[in-house]
Amino acid sequence: MNFPRSLQLSLVALCGLALGPVQAAEPVVHLYNWYDFIGPEVTKDFARDSGIQTLLDTFDSGEVLTSKLLTGRSGYDVVVVTDSLLPNLIKAGVLAELPREQLPNWQRLDGAILDKLQSNDPDNRHAVPYLWGTTGIGYDQAKVKAALGDSAPVDSWELIFKEDNLAKLSQCGVAMLDAPGEIIPIALHYLGLPPNSRNPADYKQAEALLAKVRPHIRYFDSSKFITDLSNGDICVVLGWGGGVFEAQKNAKAANNGRDIRYSIPREGAPVWMESLVLLKDAPHPQQGLALIDYLMRALPMAATSNHVGYPNANLDASPLVDAEIRNNPGVYPSAEVMATLFTLEPLPLKVERVRTRTWNKIKTGS
């Protein structure tokens, strides 16, 4: 069909308008991350330096993350994944192997953290450690001293698992994370059993231990404790180090006189790592690799640690982290303490069901 010359020119112009924005669109990378788990200016700085815009979506649980990734075609490029979730995602073929030659900042990573990560990512093929932390004891120094005296075992799991201690502390309030994948391994470890035990009989012992202290626990929640600890509504929490540090900052900002502290028990505690991964079906793999490499630089990682209160895996970033965080042994443990920490691993489905049933009994008190 032949169109008049004027109409042909109009069609060309319209096509140009339609194609123009597509051709001029800026490169993007889709990041899926925990809520508020990156420095507020980091993605803006990445866009300034690389010309790549970051589209950020957030999640609030590992279950939501896993479900979305296993379904496939999520549309995400880079995802922040807890290390204990890595084996199942690797087995399912969800994650791409990382080309080291395209990640020149790999050399900046802490070898000790890389070694810990290998229990869930052999040979560090799929994941880059991003932020990491421990699960330990947060406490109000004055309230714990008033309840237990000067010899309160704040550096031991006995503070939590010795019933006499917890009964006294219950008067000022004790909370626990709602996190069976951490609380039950801690109980197993305290009993001298493997924290990632595959033996269902071991979970009976953990259940008996937790059942004894259950009447003295005010609630199980993974976020409420931050506010309650900072304002004096509870005095002890079995919680994440970063959450306790946030409570400490809040108490100082409020100038309310609360002396909030964090302890990694001497018997050992879980260490977990949030890692950057590239999805195998990432729509923008090159932009994804650029973002991962950028997040291995010292400045963006220091900015993120300063924002969230967790240590990062970049050795060069340490001098740039706020002294209050950097010099806190509860945030940046010594080499001796690091040696006592254990990683959490996924369990076979049969054992995971046992752990889930155990936790439900403890939470409900039945």
Q: What CATH number is attached to the domain comprising 359?
A: 3.40.190.10
Residue 237 belongs to some domain of the structure: yes
Indicate if 175 and 260 belong to the same structural domain.
Answer: yes
Residue 228 belongs to some domain of the structure: yes
Residue 189 belongs to some domain of the structure: yes
Residue 52 has a pLDDT of: 98
Indicate if 145 and 210 belong to the same structural domain.
Answer: yes
Residue 13 belongs to some domain of the structure: no
Residue 17 has a pLDDT of: 44
Here the tokens at position 158 are 């006995």
Question: What span, in angstroms and rounded, lies between the C-alpha atoms of 317 and 113?
Answer: 14
Residue 23 has a pLDDT of: 42
28-42, 56-70, 135-149, 193-207: which range is least confident on average? 56-70
Phi, psi of 361 (to 5 degrees): -65, -40
Indicate if 265 and 277 belong to the same structural domain.
Answer: no
Residue 366 has a pLDDT of: 74
Residue 16 belongs to some domain of the structure: no
Indicate if 96 and 140 belong to the same structural domain.
Answer: no
Residue 5 belongs to some domain of the structure: no
Report the SS3 class of residue 82: strand
Residue 19 pLDDT > 60, yes or no? no
Residue 7 pLDDT > 80, yes or no? no
Give burial (CB, 10 Å; 0-12/13-18/19+) of 148: middle
Best CA proximity match to 290, nearest among 73, 112, 45: 45
Indicate if 177 and 257 belong to the same structural domain.
Answer: yes
Residue 118 pLDDT > 80, yes or no? yes
- Helices marked H in 191-315: 200-213, 224-231, 241-254, 285-294, 298-308
Residue 242 has a pLDDT of: 87
Indicate if 54 and 122 belong to the same structural domain.
Answer: yes
Indicate if 217 and 357 belong to the same structural domain.
Answer: yes
Residue 323 belongs to some domain of the structure: yes
Residue 322 has a pLDDT of: 95
Residue 33 belongs to some domain of the structure: yes
In degrees, rounded to 5, the angle at the alpha carbon of residue 326 between the alpha carbons of residues 298 and 266 is 125
Indicate if 162 and 184 belong to the same structural domain.
Answer: yes
Residue 308, CA distances (Å) to 40, 147, 238, 291, 305 in order: 10, 31, 19, 19, 5
Give burial (CB, 10 Å; 0-12/13-18/19+) of 11: exposed
The single-letter code of the amino acid at 245 is F
Indicate if 141 and 283 belong to the same structural domain.
Answer: no
Report percent pLDDT > 90 for the chain.
84
Question: What span, in angstroms and rounded, lies between the C-alpha atoms of 36 and 80?
Answer: 12
State which residues form the domain around 110: 26-126+272-332
Best CA proximity match to 270, nearest among 189, 346, 341: 341
11-20, 27-36, 88-97, 272-281: which range is least confident on average? 11-20
Residue 12 has a pLDDT of: 41
Mean pLDDT estimate for the chain: 92
- Split into its structural domains, the chain has a count of 2
Question: What span, in angstroms and rounded, lies between the C-alpha atoms of 174 and 168?
Answer: 10
Indicate if 263 and 278 belong to the same structural domain.
Answer: no
Indicate if 262 and 178 belong to the same structural domain.
Answer: yes
Indicate if 360 and 223 belong to the same structural domain.
Answer: yes
Residue 180 has a pLDDT of: 92
Phi-psi category of 365—alpha, beta or left, where left has phi over 0 and alpha has psi -120 to 50? left
Report percent pLDDT > 70 for the chain.
93
For residue range 308-334, what is the model confidence (pLDDT) as tens digits? 889 999 999 999 999 989 999 989 999
Question: What span, in angstroms and rounded, lies between the C-alpha atoms of 315 and 116?
Answer: 15
For residue range 242-296, what is the model confidence (pLDDT) as tens digits? 899 999 999 999 999 999 999 999 999 999 999 999 999 999 999 999 999 999 9
Residue 194 has a pLDDT of: 97
Higher-scoring residue by pLDDT: 255, 15: 255
Question: What span, in angstroms and rounded, lies between the C-alpha atoms of 177 and 264?
Answer: 15
